[in-house]
Amino acid sequence: MTQSHAKTPNPPRPRIAVVGYGSQGRAHALNLRESGFEVTVGLRPGGPTEAKAQADGFTVKTPAEAVAGAELVAVLTPDMVQPRLYREAIEPYLAKGACLLFAHGFNVHYGQIAPRADLDVVLVAPKGPGALVRREFEIGRGVPCVYAVQQDTSGRAEQLALAYAAGLGGARANVIKTTFKEETETDLFGEQAVLCGGATKLVQAGWETLVEAGYQPEVAYYECLHELKLIVDLLYEGGITRMHEFISETAQYGDLTRGPYVIDAHARAQMKKILAEIQDGTFARQWIAEYAAGNPNYKALKQADLDHPIEATGRKLRAAMSWIGADGNVQPARPAAPRPTAEAAAA
**pLDDT tens sequence across 280-328:** 999 999 999 999 999 999 999 999 999 999 999 999 999 999 887 777 7
Tell me if 154 is assigned to a ligand binding site: no
Under DSSP, the state recorded for 324 is B
How far apart, in whole angstroms, are the C-alpha atoms of residue 130 and residue 26? 8
The reported pLDDT for the residue numbered 272 is 98
Query: 121 and 127 in contact (C-beta within 8 Å)?
Result: no
The CATH number of 16-179 is 3.40.50.720
The reported pLDDT for the residue numbered 6 is 46
Tell me if 187 is assigned to a ligand binding site: yes
Q: What does the domain layout of the chain look like in residue ranges?
A: 16-179, 191-320
pLDDT < 70: residue spans in the chain: 1-9, 331-347
The reported pLDDT for the residue numbered 333 is 59
Tell me if 44 is assigned to a ligand binding site: yes
The reported pLDDT for the residue numbered 47 is 85
Tell me if 35 is assigned to a ligand binding site: no
* Residues marked as catalytic: 104
